[in-house]
């Protein structure tokens, strides 16, 4: 899936999610935790 970010709202969402996932990795030192949060975020996005 290719993301075509053309508006500021999308940039804010992707930037904030990247910062959150990075912070989770920094705090836990586990990429699995970041992957789990990413999966939950995608699952949430399917249903909204």
Helices 31-47 & 8-28 angle (0-180, nearest 10): 150
| Chain position carrying tokens 């975020």 | 41
Residue 7's pLDDT is 82
Q: Where are the domains of the chain?
A: 20-48
Q: How far apart are CA 22 and CA 42, in angstroms?
A: 17
- ∠ at Cα 42 (37, 44), nearest 5°? 95
Residue 11's pLDDT is 86
pLDDT along the chain (48 residues), means of 10: 73 91 96 96 90
Residue 2's pLDDT is 60
């Amino acid at each position: 899936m290719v993301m075509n970010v053309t508006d500021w709202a999308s940039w804010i969402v992707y930037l904030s999610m990247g910062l959150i996932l990075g912070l989770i990795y920094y705090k836990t030192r586990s990429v699995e935790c970041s992957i789990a949060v990413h999966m939950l975020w995608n699952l949430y996005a399917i249903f909204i």
